[in-house]
Structure 1
Amino acid sequence: MLRALDIRDMLIIDRLELAFQPGLNVMTGETGAGKSILLDSLGFVLGWRGRAELVRQGAEQGEVVAVFDLPAGHAAHAVLEEAGLPGGDELILRRINRPDGRKTAWVNDRRCSGDVLRALSDTLVELHGQHDDRGLLDPRGHRAMLDTFGGLEQVRGETRATWGAYTRAQKRVEATRAALDAIREEEEFLRHAVAEFEALDPQAGEDAELDARRRTMQGAARIREDVARALGLLGGDGAEGAMADALRWLDGVAGNADGTLDAPLSALNRAMVELGEAQAGVGASLDALDFDEHELENTEERLFAIRALARKHDCAPDNLPDVGVALRDRLTTLDAGDADLAQQEADLCAAQAAYEAAATMLSDRRAAAAVRLDAAVMAELAPLRMERAEFRTILGAADPGPDGHDTATFTVATNPGAPAGALNKIASGGELSRFLLALKVCLTGPDSGLTMIFDEIDRGVGGATADAVGRRLADLARNGQVLVVTHSPQVAARGTHHWRVEKQVTNGATLSRVVPLSDTDRIDEIARMLAGDTVTDEARAAARALLNP
């Protein structure tokens, strides 16, 4: 509910503070007094797009503050939470406008964007008038209004859930088909590549091991001949034999040498031991250098095959095992793909059937709700002196979507036998106002939480019809808050709170102000609306009769 509106330096308003109440709030005043400025100012703080120049001439900036009460469960709480703005049971909107066109907005003292203001306004206020293309006159919103009237939120939610499952299943099938088609294009390559990997079976680290072994064998081939020659010179036909002969000769004559050969003989014995160790080591080395020539050939062949396969798949040799796994997986996907696709297609058919069933149920419920809505609107039109008019909700076919496969359009025929058409194309100004009011009475629930504003919706009607309009507005305001800008005394008399908008000239400047009216003031204002500038006793008596029917 809109509790307060504070306007400063906007157009011809210098300072204005209004305190609104629940029920039917009416604003009256002569044409040009500034009633539309109030709506422009409220629309400005709600983020609506309107007049470009709103700042009062000579002022540094214009400012509007609107205060709303937010009960628990109000839809505005969700908008605040999503925007990361502070909540509570009170919502304060503040927006300033500078002469250069720059605008700044706050929500509960936190800066915010115009988009956030507009999102909040959708949960706070509804504006209705003869040019109400935001609401009831926009056919794009008729289906949602019908669903709300019929209480179809749960059925529509189920339809949306089945639509989501259906579209997800459809995407899975499309993705699987695309993947299989891509794999089938390279099936021959995959089978050949997997066969190569299975035949070669490369292992991580094998390239380094083969290269080291190859280098060892290549080095052995070059040095083995020299090592064998060296081993021959150390053997019995070489150094070992010569040293043995020398020992034998010296040992035979040592006894006659007076001990002079003892030391040489001892050294030769030690040399023979060292020579034996050297001979054994060289022999062991020669054994180690001994290899099968075919092993070198085989090692080189495998090493070259691994490196060729790595070049073919543009990867490091150590990554070949992972590449092989990936190729095998793709081939497995291809081999198992048809079975997977068949299962996914079966799931898609089931999801589509579930959606069709939910959408058909929603269509049936909409058809039943349309009959009830048509009857309800027709019942409202009779007291509004439009008993000869006909209102119909036309359901049509639409492309399947999350909200089913229906369209809904509100149509009217103003006279029996006349063709039906869209509200804003068939009805005249006064008729359109009454159609909109009848629709709004039927479509608005008692807990909508919206402040409804009717901008001269009674234009073009008078007498008993205007009285019927006033009664319906009062009924609509009984469980909520309605603001009405009106020129009709019959409508004004139904208000529970009444303000008069008037202009005055102060120090050569024209300013607009809004005056709350007492019971006595209301009599004079309604009398003015009945009689014009000259208020007579008869007009006052008629005003009293309207206020106390």
Structure 2
Amino acid sequence: MTRKARAATSSPVPRSAPSPARAGPLLSRLEVRNLATIRDLTLELRPGFSAFTGETGAGKSIIVDALGLLLGGRSNTDLIRSGEESLLVTGFWNEGRSDECSASRRVTAGGRSTARLDGEVVSVRELGEWVSSRLTIHWQHSALSLLTPAYQRTLLDRPLPEEVQAYEAAYRAWTDARARLERLRAQGRERARQLDLLSFQVQEIAAVAPQPGEEEPLSAELTRLSNLETIALGAAGALDLLSDGETSAAGLLADAVKALGVGAKYDETSAQLQRDLREALSSVQAVVGELRSLAEDSAPDPEELARVEARLSALGKLRAKYGPTLEDVLAFQAKAEQELAELTRDEQDAGTLEAEVDRLFAEVQRAGKALDAARARQASPLAASLVNVIRELGMPHARLEFRLSPLGQPGPTGLSDVTLHFTANPGESLGPLADIASGGELSRVMLAISTVLGAETPAVVFDEVDAGIGGAAALAVAEQLSQLARERQVLVVTHLAQIAARADHHYKVEKQVEGGRTISRVRLLNPEERLEEIARMLGGKASEAALSHAQELLAGRG
């Protein structure tokens, strides 16, 4: 089955609890070759909540970097493992019960990047679009989508498809009509000139009314009329030989007929020859009649000669201007008539289109106000829901609101800009999220959005969502991630034991030295190894107290 066919018929794969309820295509395996300190890694991934931990400098974020390349992120040759010619990242997604799709990207030391979907070479943009429908990464200082007005606007627009579509349709109709009106106005003077020119050209050709193929017989007739005297002289000479001369062909034939008359009474051959000579004499006499007409017509009719010459001259002028053939002249006439009709229609439309533009503008205003009102109704409840979650994530004084700022004129997405304003600190004024929030705050705001509205892709990756928090806030973040993992595949790079303990699957990133080279490995921990890793995260080493605390955290998960 092809990649397109699999994508069209994909369905969630069977999962073991706990597992995403509506995950869709899941990232099942990640293969990495020669990326940073990773030499060769095959990572089997599972549904639910997966945590990635490791000591500082072990390379936990390399996994995120690998997935970022599949999303079409900018390739950096510094990511290629020292001494290697290229790196390769390949992700595998379960698209159905038996179907698996792959996406890969190779980056060479020379900076060349090759993207593939199911082995087929595609552009990096196409690769990113395909993967971004299945995977989202929220990483420190890189939650770029959250910073864009477009994304902030879509948060309000998700439940408003009818209002959004109504406005977009009204805006398109208005802008199309306005563009045509502006074009007609700008082309007014040129259109008038074209109308005059085309009208003249069409009338000039129509006045002559050329017919295909008429020039050849006209030229022959002009040649005949111009040489009538020569034709008459030739006819007179032939007439003299055949009939009018002292000795003529007609006389000789008549004598021959008489000479055979006696013998024809007694010989059938002579009789037949006599009959043949009579026919020849009859033919000569017929030719003599025509020659006599030619010999007498020695001067052309001046009017007829002038008519033929004038017609040929008129046709020649048309060919010179619109040719080179009469067929070309007629084709030019048809095209000019079509353009003339279109310009005439535009001239008429310009007078009525202005009123239509005004009517469509009023419709844009009506649809835009309805959209603004719908967005305003969504803004406060959504902001309140987000703030409730954000405050649980270690920002107890956070405030957030959506603001609609009227535009000078209607835009493609509405009459107002939508911006998300935020502050995490008490007593501070709200400011644009893009200007105020730190990387860690952005990650937690995105976590809140994913929890309240649901993640937009089947798999969600968080890198350092726990930056700057601990204690109760860490437990709250863990709870939110756990809730999100009920519906999505969640991968989290974390340094907090509270978050790692809440995960369904725990992977450890380790750095080792082999043959004088540093190598990073990632492995799924068994229960005993997991206990020791969480104890290390709590106290730096697996002491009795740390192990006991780790046991308590693990016992409380779920």
Same fold (TM over 0.5): yes
Counterpart residue number, 2:232 = 224
* One-letter amino acid matched to 1:134: L
Q: Does 1:378 align with 2:349?
A: no
Q: Does 1:37 align with 2:45?
A: no
- Compute the displacement of 1:25 (Å): 0.9
Counterparts of 2:281 and 2:131, CA distance in 1: 112
Counterpart residue number, 1:537 = 544
Q: Helix, strand or coil: the match of 2:30?
A: strand
* Mapping of residues 409-448 of structure 1, within 5 Å: 409-428=419-438, 431-445=441-455, 448=456
Counterparts of 2:137 and 2:154, CA distance in 1: 17
Counterparts of 2:451 and 2:386, CA distance in 1: 8
Distance verdict in 2 for CA 1:196–1:34, change over 3 Å? closer
Q: Helix, strand or coil: the match of 1:543?
A: helix
Counterpart residue number, 1:513 = 521
Counterparts of 1:339 and 1:488, CA distance in 2: 73
Distance verdict in 2 for CA 1:11–1:304, change over 3 Å? closer
Q: Does 1:299 align with 2:308?
A: yes
Contact 1:389 1:416 in 2 (8 A): yes
Q: Which of 476, 480, 484 lines up with 1:468 in the alignment? A: 476
- Compute the displacement of 1:460 (Å): 0.9
Between the two proteins, what is the percent identity of the paired residues? 34
- Compute the displacement of 1:231 (Å): 6.5
Structure 1 unaligned regions, length at least 5: 73-87, 248-265
Contact 1:43 1:50 in 2 (8 A): no
- Compute the displacement of 1:374 (Å): 0.8
- Compute the displacement of 1:61 (Å): 5.3
Counterpart residue number, 2:414 = 404
- Compute the displacement of 1:309 (Å): 4.2
Counterparts of 1:57 and 1:397, CA distance in 2: 53
Distance verdict in 2 for CA 1:492–1:238, change over 3 Å? same
* Mapping of residues 65-76 of structure 1, within 5 Å: 65-70=90-95
User: Which of 1 and 2 has greater Rg?
Assistant: 1
Distance verdict in 2 for CA 1:499–1:347, change over 3 Å? same
Contact 2:152 2:419 in 1 (8 A): yes
* Mapping of residues 271-282 of structure 1, within 5 Å: 280-282=289-291
- Compute the displacement of 1:377 (Å): 0.9
Counterparts of 1:192 and 1:465, CA distance in 2: 84
The more displaced of 93-102 and 413-422 is 93-102
Q: Does 1:108 align with 2:118?
A: yes
Distance verdict in 2 for CA 1:146–1:90, change over 3 Å? farther
The more displaced of 449-458 and 363-372 is 363-372
- Compute the displacement of 1:143 (Å): 1.8
Contact 2:76 2:111 in 1 (8 A): no
Output one character per residue of 1:357-376: Cα deviation in whole Å (capped at 9) or x when no partner.
43433333222222232121
Counterpart residue number, 1:260 = none
Q: Helix, strand or coil: the match of 2:303?
A: helix
Q: Helix, strand or coil: the match of 1:136?
A: helix
Distance verdict in 2 for CA 1:62–1:224, change over 3 Å? closer
Counterpart residue number, 2:378 = 369
Distance verdict in 2 for CA 1:509–1:201, change over 3 Å? closer
Q: Helix, strand or coil: the match of 2:144?
A: coil
Contact 1:13 1:56 in 2 (8 A): yes
Q: Helix, strand or coil: the match of 1:393?
A: strand
Counterparts of 1:497 and 1:275, CA distance in 2: 119
Counterpart residue number, 2:320 = 311
Counterparts of 1:285 and 1:43, CA distance in 2: 98
Counterparts of 1:229 and 1:100, CA distance in 2: 96
Contact 1:457 1:486 in 2 (8 A): yes
The more displaced of 415-424 and 119-128 is 415-424
Q: Helix, strand or coil: the match of 1:377?
A: helix
* One-letter amino acid matched to 1:543: A
Contact 1:429 1:460 in 2 (8 A): no
Structure 2 unaligned regions, length at least 5: 1-25, 256-273
* Mapping of residues 141-540 of structure 1, within 5 Å: 141-148=151-158, 151-173=159-181, 181-224=189-232, 280-286=289-295, 292-313=301-322, 315-317=324-326, 319-333=328-342, 336-345=345-354, 347-398=356-407, 400-428=410-438, 431-445=441-455, 448-533=456-541, 535-540=542-547
CA RMSD, 1 decimal: 3.8
Distance verdict in 2 for CA 1:313–1:380, change over 3 Å? same
Contact 2:400 2:421 in 1 (8 A): yes
- Compute the displacement of 1:492 (Å): 1.7
- Compute the displacement of 1:342 (Å): 3.8
